[in-house]
Amino acid sequence: MPWRKVRFKGKLVLARCEADGSLRAEGGRVEIRYRAGDARAYRAGLRNLQAEAEAEAAVEILPDDTCPPAREAAAGGTAARRSSSGRPRSGPAGASGATKSASGTPSPPPPPDGAVMLYTDGACSGNPGPAGVGVVLIDGSRRRELSAYLGEATNNVAELTAIAMGLDAVARDGHCQRPVRLYTDSKYSIGVLVQGWKAKKNVELIVALRQRLEAFEDLHLHHVRGHAGHPLNERADELAVEAVRGQRSVDWVDI
């Protein structure tokens, strides 16, 4: 299966394509590599890929052996956990039974039965600049999505606001007593919320969000690496980017 060059969030990458140069999408996502010879495979939303060539006739089709067989990139990071007493504490993801990827990077442990899962992300065009958030909520077979435009903000504010909106949705549904697992690619958010980082900016927002955390009996915040091929994390990113591009908000939608 051949490759072609496309733009993904401003970066030139290689994407799987058909012989005629059309991108090969499975479930709306396309396999990409960041450079020739890279074995790490990622999945990007079709709508986030832009043709490098101005005319399709000028597309350069590269052979299959441009990149070696895929080694799926796995997310990693640390899991920020709350104790049964409700006080934040943190530690390595492995302490909660996490597995490791082929590269040895810790991955978040599987969620417990009955957990509500939140995938949150913020996007910002410039920093500060037009900002948006995206949230994907999974509750058993139920899936809901939120895309919200914030106006002028920083990336950190967008990341924190995405977390707040996700937790507010769980609280409104009356699920604060259930296990909640939240996944974000923002180390900053986890640091200032549960790892004791001293906040120099966004203090009011952080204090308010810390208070929100106290309402949940079993809440874990997990860091995952962004753009590492996790479909729901990538979907949250897509929703945030869509909000910025369209400068509009789409309230919770059942998928």
Where helices occur in 173-202 by DSSP H, the ranges are 187-194
Residue 138 neighbours by CB under 8 Å, 6+ apart: 116, 117, 118, 119, 232
The beta-strand segments (E) located in 36-157 are 40-45, 49-51, 71-72, 78-82, 88-92, 116-124, 129-139, 142-153
- Distance between CA atoms of 78 and 92, rounded to whole angstroms? 5
The pair of structure tokens assigned to 145 is: 């999505």
Distance CA 127, CA 123 (A): 10
* Pairwise CA distance, residues 177 & 180, whole Å: 9
In the chain, DSSP finds a helix count (H) and a strand count (E) of 4, 15
Residues noted as catalytic: 121-122, 159, 185, 227, 237
